[in-house]
Amino acid sequence: DAKTTQPPSMDCAEGRAANLPCNHSTISGNEYVYWYRQIHSQGPQYIIHGLKNNETNEMASLIITEDRKSSTLILPHATLRDTAVYYCIARSGGSRLTFGEGTQLTVNP
Amino acid sequence: GAVVSQHPSRVICKSGTSVKIECRSLDFQATTMFWYRQFPKQSLMLMATSNEGSKATYEQGVEKDKFLINHASLTLSTLTVTSAHPEDSSFYICSARDLTGGLSYEQYFGPGTRLTVT
């Protein structure tokens, strides 16, 4: 699976949009971009995934660049409960998830 | 949504004893379950992949005789830490893959088990 690079930490004000970037310049054509988050001392929680097109669900939006070398996870109205480590993972169907260091997002009041 | 449970959520044991952790998929069948370990302030590290009815595949550096994995049914996998030592103290997390997943094969995670070896 392609390596991903994320900033180690980010801050966001409560109520504002949180935009979390991820670079995956070596991603191959059959690899999806997955986002998970882990709130302290809990198991990871699935957020969203995509292949080429932008995706949106009740939790977040995923914007993937046309060349697929990077993506951005958008939490439209961040709350204090969104404080967590966010992991961006590139994987092909069927492969196991391997986690990098992720981005510690802190939402401030 | 798919739910994965783990039991116990927290366990304290004495050095030299064995501890069993259960992972169950509650509302779906999982042919594959994964076991991760997470030390404080670190990311999750994959330990092994557990396939129903067959032997688990361990990642490099993980001792298969120390971390025994059994995946006897489509809804249950167990991890037994044998002869536990303080350095085995960690947060153990299991994950199950939805049997019905198409190309994307979502994985669902349990809440984790905090093991402390004294």
- pLDDT tens across A13-61, in order? 999 999 999 999 999 988 999 999 999 989 999 999 999 999 999 999 9
Contact B89, B116 (CB under 8 A): yes
How many residues does the structure list for chain A? 109
Cα→Cα distances B86→A94, B14, B17, B79, B83, Å? 34, 9, 11, 17, 10
Residue of A nearest to B31 (CA): A94
- The beta-carbon neighbor of A94 closest among B34, B46, B105 is B105
Q: Is B102 on the interface with A (CB under 8 A)?
A: yes
**Cβ–Cβ below 8 Å for B112 and A99:** no
- pLDDT tens across B59-94, in order? 999 999 999 999 889 899 999 999 999 999 999 999
